[in-house]
Amino acid sequence: MSTIVALTEGYNSAKVVRELQDIPGGCGGMVLTPTVTVHALVRASLILLTHFRSLIDIEIAKCEKKLEMSRANLQKITKIETQADYQETVPANFRSANEDERKTLEAEISTWQISRGIFVNLK
């Protein structure tokens, strides 16, 4: 935990949550690995600013853009993996890398959807 706090500028504490409903409101997320996502509390700093709604809209737009990119990249990987001769013609190390990338993209999509929902609820 001390390493995570040290690596996150402007934060002095961290906590581990295992369930989505335990993520505090006002957090934005970033996928580190398919099983690890960091959510940072941005609500407190946003509330202090006068253009709260426009800032929320900006964060929602960012989430939507990243969600769109992640979905497009997932679609590319899925298209490659579903080719008829994929298992026979693609070396195992590339198949493994594609599988890892697919899992990461799936985790990113989930995170961007959650983050977008959190920001929408702040409006």
Range of the domain at 37: 2-122
Residues 9-23: tens digit of each pLDDT: 667 777 778 887 888
Where residue 47 falls among pLDDT bands split at 50, 70, 90? very low
The proportion of the chain whose per-residue pLDDT surpasses 90, expressed as a percent, equals 43
Q: Interhelix angle for 52-81 vs 92-122, to 10°?
A: 160
How many structural domains comprise the chain? 1
pLDDT of res. 9: 67
CA separation for the pair 35, 104 (Å, rounded) = 8
DSSP 20: G
CA separation for the pair 11, 7 (Å, rounded) = 9
CA separation for the pair 8, 5 (Å, rounded) = 5
Residues 53-105: tens digit of each pLDDT: 677 888 899 999 999 999 999 999 999 999 999 999 999 999 999 999 999 99
pTM for the full model?
Answer: 0.63
Q: Which residues of 36-63 are buried (b: 16+ CB within 10 A; e: fewer)?
A: ebebebbbeebeeeeeeeebbeebbeeb
